[in-house]
């Protein structure tokens, strides 16, 4: 059995069960291109697999994602009788320190928004009002980076203050309510795009370039990185700098802090936050709740208050 057909069969088999299997499919495609699609599975050596896993840089968490994807494929190949052994190394290097998302302070968020208009260069194909609206939507609604730029005009119901986020990471569609502030931001942007003559047909992209056409993720992320550098939002002595996607993490953490401060029942509200973010389980949401000093303080205050009530009740 040749590698190309076997990996395609494996990916199709997994996706037929309802799994997205996106990262694994990407890994297997890259590995197949590296080895050659017509190479027999039995001819692939442990050295060639290890060479692919190691790549050219230091070991990262993605090394382990690649290892998992290849291990799963070879288990499948052995079960199907395509080979009788796995060339994937059994020993794995120690995982590096996990990546920690950057949680923007409110002052940094203000600097970023102010920087959209103070930046002297052009945002490539984007207008400042478009970039500002996208940043506010990513933070204010906690969307994934790809979600707002995929919005069609019919997905933005300004009169009802509702967004429809279609076919997301887990092949789900969800509807989220917009705050009054976000509704106002999007209404202002929509009025501007209408004046520019952009189509308001149901299937037309809501977020567009100056001359029309849907905003591409690479253009948005490039604009954000230049904005971040312009206003001086940096991680000191760190390999990983703040990302556009970290606005989503920031939304989740700031929401939790607000709940703690208002005395809300956080455990009761967490499932709603999970649904809003488009997660399939609470465990996915918990990953976003990075423990910042501010969040730790609020959680500790809540615990002290709860403990005091318990002790007082037992006295």
Give the catalytic positions in this structure.
144, 169, 245, 248, 279, 288
Gyration radius of the chain's alpha carbons = 24
Q: Report the distance separating Cα 73 and Cα 308, nearest Å.
A: 54
Length reported for the chain: 315
Report the SS3 class of residue 242: coil
Q: Report the distance separating Cα 299 and Cα 26, nearest Å.
A: 39
Q: Report the distance separating Cα 232 and Cα 201, nearest Å.
A: 39
Q: Report the distance separating Cα 160 and Cα 187, nearest Å.
A: 12
Report the SS3 class of residue 117: helix
Q: Report the distance separating Cα 77 and Cα 32, nearest Å.
A: 14
């Amino acid at each position: 059995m040749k590698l190309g057909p076997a990996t395609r069969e494996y990916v199709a088999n997994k996706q037929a069960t309802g799994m997205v299997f996106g990262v694994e499919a990407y890994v297997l495609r890259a590995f197949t291109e590296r080895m050659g699609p017509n190479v027999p599975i039995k001819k692939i050596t442990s050295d060639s697999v290890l060479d692919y896993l190691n790549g050219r840089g230091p070991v990262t968490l993605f090394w382990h994602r690649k290892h998992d994807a290849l291990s799963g494929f070879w288990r499948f190949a052995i079960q199907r009788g395509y080979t009788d052994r796995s060339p994937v190394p059994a020993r794995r290097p120690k995982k590096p320190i996990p990546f920690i998302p950057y949680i923007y302070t409110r002052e940094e968020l203000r600097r970023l928004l102010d920087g959209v208009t103070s930046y002297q260069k052009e945002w490539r194909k984007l207008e400042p009002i478009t970039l500002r609206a996208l940043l506010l939507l990513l933070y204010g609604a906690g969307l994934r980076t790809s979600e707002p730029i995929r919005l069609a005009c019919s997905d933005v119901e300004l009169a009802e203050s509702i967004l429809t986020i279609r076919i997301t990471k887990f092949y789900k569609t969800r509807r989220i309510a917009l705050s009054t502030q976000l509704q106002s931001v999007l209404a202002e942007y929509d009025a501007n795009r209408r004046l520019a003559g952009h189509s308001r047909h149901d299937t037309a992209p809501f977020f567009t370039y100056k001359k029309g056409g849907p905003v591409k993720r690479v253009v948005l992320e490039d604009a954000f990185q230049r904005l971040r550098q312009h206003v001086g939002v940096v991680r000191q002595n760190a390999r990983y700098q703040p990302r556009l996607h970290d606005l989503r993490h920031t939304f989740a953490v700031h929401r939790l802090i607000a709940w703690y401060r208002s005395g809300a029942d956080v455990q009761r509200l967490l499932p709603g936050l999970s649904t809003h973010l488009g997660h399939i389980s609470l465990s996915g949401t918990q990953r976003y709740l990075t423990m910042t000093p501010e969040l730790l303080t609020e959680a500790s205050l809540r615990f002290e208050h709860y403990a005091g009530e318990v002790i007082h009740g037992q006295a």
